[in-house]
Structure 1
């Protein structure tokens, strides 16, 4: 995730000999500990999550001002049924522990009392709020038994204090799978089965079974809620079919999600993490309609490109975005589009097959009068709808919402009809 400004993309990996050396260097042994028999305190709200077909739409909320926008939790659209508060801070005295400090000054005077009340209001709607640990700049080290215990105890203390429903692991500077496993099992023992455990690894973190996040997901698969891979700031990576894919495409997302789906996780534990707008990441942005294509490919085997799963996986865990604040800068086009798709299931009005060939030339626009209705970012358009925008008329090729005509590229949803 990006704490203040977008990171530059990670170096592109072709996964040859250099990667083998990297995986060897980062390999961490994994062990599992059974949770101790303790009294369970149910922190989570009693109501079930208001999910679209049982799927999560996860969004990160900024506890800082990075130039996107700031907002109270109360402004978050209901489409987001899992809100990750970004981010926790290192505990001042307990090594490996975490705390939380509301940045009220950066957030226009947002008070602690308002923050707590907003958490309760979100949960009263059946949605969930979790505390995220890490981000681009944050780093909590859990690499020994004391740090593991402190992490579990302080996280549970925050859950009791603020009412958080769980924790999101977004540690981007390397993890120790063994002791983070111990910490999360300890936390589960304290919080009970309603505990939400999410994680947001980077794509390289699942490129081999020796990687820490791969081991952590395997170790806690029985208590893990969802893995929302960050399919951005990545460069190229290898898919489950041993082919290399470039970020920013449905093939990249589907082929890499396949790794988690084939490693033993349940489909419901696999989520797709994408930036809400191009400014939210250094690379890897995909228009929401392209995220829909990746979902269709994984869940139903339709809308696939060069990668297609041998057998469709059915509904997966959902979709995550960095971030709600960035989505707000675009009229919540990400939330609106993806939430509608999660609610409707595969299909959603987008083409079932990708283009078979590229056009040899762009159509020459014919001047005329703009008679079509003006494009509106909040309206839904389906294939064949024509709108006017910036002195031209545009025809939608498939279902879309929030994607501005003239910005989606040659193979995007909008095709130029005529200048006017």
Structure 2
């Protein structure tokens, strides 16, 4: 995940080739989830805020300036009903503990008092705010009883101090499932059943039942709120059908989400994590319309590609993005599209009546869901640039000029991101 304090995104090393086949799915106890958001909450002034039919739209908020944009919590659109504050800091004296320091200097003078007031205002609308631990550069070690105790105690202290509703585990440098399990169960004992526990593992963290996050999710399935897998910065991975899938496609997302859905987690505990814009990640970006396809495939068995679940799973837990700040740079296209889909269910609401007449002229431009700039033959593109052309979005693998997307073949410069 490109969640860092430096000024430009960094692609992680791609994980090439196939991994060992997944073990058979195993049963775990039924989940007792914290309360999901209601369909509609009423705010004090009478305004209503839609809550996406009980599904989460999770977005990360930057407590730093990485060149995307900075904003106070009060500017976060109401479509985001779960806000993860990125990130906690290591405690100065308690090994394994965490603290939080608002980066006011990087946030245009945003004060601690304003931050606290904004948390309360967001929560007054029926939305939730949690503290995220980790990210690309952040790390906290919870690998023994003392560290587990310190993590639980300091996290609960932050919840009491700032009013956070829970914690997001986004540790990307390895995780000790045994002691993180102890820490989160201790935290649940202190905070109670309303505690939100989210996690944002990388795809490799669920490739086998022996992987740390796979074990952790199984261990705490009775108190776990949602797993928002990072379906980006990944490379090729095995799906639940033991076939290899390439990131940046609905097949990749659906086939890997199937791993969590078949391991015994409730569908409401499974979320899809994607970057809001191409610049937010080193690879794996999907146009919002393609994320909708993955949702449709998993929930209703429609809009599937090469991968299709044996049986549709019904409503899953929701969608996550890195990040709200990156989404702001694109007019919140991610939040608007995904929130509409979550509210409307598989396929959305759809028209109530068929068209009354055929269109008299063919479309003159790109489909409306293409967010990337149109390809032009005279422009120069470098590796990672994304363009729209012929109703699809394409990513350049290296420097190119004058080579038309869709004509360079499987091993050519242009890699298909997906239809849009």
- Scaled by the length of structure 2, the TM-score of the pair is 0.79
1:262 corresponds to: 262
Residue deviations 1:170-206 (CA, integer Å, cap 9, x gap): 0000000000000000000000000000000000000
Which structure 2 residues correspond to residues 157-306 of structure 1 after superposition, within 5 A? 157-306=157-306
1:14 corresponds to: 17
Residue deviations 1:322-367 (CA, integer Å, cap 9, x gap): 00000000000000000000000111389xxxxxxxxxxxxxxxxx
With over 3 angstroms needed to count, the CA separation of the structure-2 counterparts of 1:405 and 1:91, relative to structure 1, is: same
* 1:10 to partner: Cα distance: 2.7
Distance in 2 between the 1:13 and 1:410 partners?
A: 30
Secondary structure, aligned partner of 1:348: coil
* 1:14 to partner: Cα distance: 1.8
* 1:12 to partner: Cα distance: 2.6
Secondary structure, aligned partner of 1:61: strand
Which structure 2 residues correspond to residues 25-64 of structure 1 after superposition, within 5 A? 51-64=51-64
1:371 corresponds to: none
* 1:404 to partner: Cα distance: 5.5
* 8 Å contact from structure 2 (residues 366, 388) kept in 1: no
Residue deviations 1:57-77 (CA, integer Å, cap 9, x gap): 000000000000000000000
* 8 Å contact from structure 1 (residues 226, 317) kept in 2: yes
With over 3 angstroms needed to count, the CA separation of the structure-2 counterparts of 1:264 and 1:205, relative to structure 1, is: same
* 8 Å contact from structure 2 (residues 168, 198) kept in 1: yes
From 353, 365, 368, give the equivalent of 1:394: 365
* 1:412 to partner: Cα distance: 2.1
* 8 Å contact from structure 1 (residues 7, 233) kept in 2: no
Distance in 1 between the 2:168 and 2:360 partners?
A: 41
Where does the alignment leave 5 or more consecutive residues of structure 2 unmatched?
23-28, 30-34, 43-48, 351-357, 376-386, 395-420
* 1:124 to partner: Cα distance: 0.2
2:26 corresponds to: none
* 1:411 to partner: Cα distance: 4.5
- Scaled by the length of structure 1, the TM-score of the pair is 0.79
Distance in 1 between the 2:122 and 2:371 partners?
A: 25
* 8 Å contact from structure 1 (residues 384, 395) kept in 2: no
* 8 Å contact from structure 2 (residues 60, 84) kept in 1: yes
* 1:269 to partner: Cα distance: 0.2
With over 3 angstroms needed to count, the CA separation of the structure-2 counterparts of 1:386 and 1:201, relative to structure 1, is: farther
Task: Give the RMSD, CA atoms, in angstroms.
Answer: 2.8
Distance in 2 between the 1:178 and 1:64 partners?
A: 32
Distance in 2 between the 1:238 and 1:272 partners?
A: 16
With over 3 angstroms needed to count, the CA separation of the structure-2 counterparts of 1:387 and 1:278, relative to structure 1, is: farther
Distance in 2 between the 1:387 and 1:344 partners?
A: 28
Distance in 2 between the 1:413 and 1:53 partners?
A: 30
With over 3 angstroms needed to count, the CA separation of the structure-2 counterparts of 1:344 and 1:69, relative to structure 1, is: same
* 1:400 to partner: Cα distance: 3.3
Secondary structure, aligned partner of 1:210: coil
1:367 corresponds to: none
